Amino acid sequence: MRFKQTFETAAAPSAAFAYLSDFKRLPEWDPSVTRVDQLDGGEITAGTRFRVTLRFLGMPSTLDYRVAEFQPDSRAVLIGEGAAVT
């Protein structure tokens, strides 16, 4: 499954990219997400992993993501690696 989202903003492109590509900020703009933990320390690069907790159909779920590509100011690709409904 592939998801693509478009946002309109008055922010400079580099500022918008920095905000949206920082996956830890996902709960600020996706109301279904309740928590994001970065599983690797340091800056976000290819290979960085995240665990996302969200509500799906009223039930808490977790999704693990890995950054597949990261090009500052232009491209961030994350791949979901698994899901569990708890």
Q: What is the pLDDT of residue 2?
A: 66
DSSP state for residue 25 in the 8-state scheme: G
Asked whether residue 4 carries a pLDDT value surpassing 80, the answer given is no
Confirm if 36 and 55 have CB atoms less than 8 A apart.
no
- Residue 79 in tokens: 């791949």
Question: Over the range 61-85, which residues count as b (16 or more CB within 10 Å of their CB) and which as e?
Answer: bbbbbbbeebeeeeebebeeeeeee
Residues 6-31 pLDDT 10s: 778 899 989 988 888 888 999 998 88
pTM of the predicted structure, to 2 decimals: 0.78
- pLDDT (tens digit, 9 = 90+) per residue, 56-84? 888 888 999 999 999 988 898 989 876 55
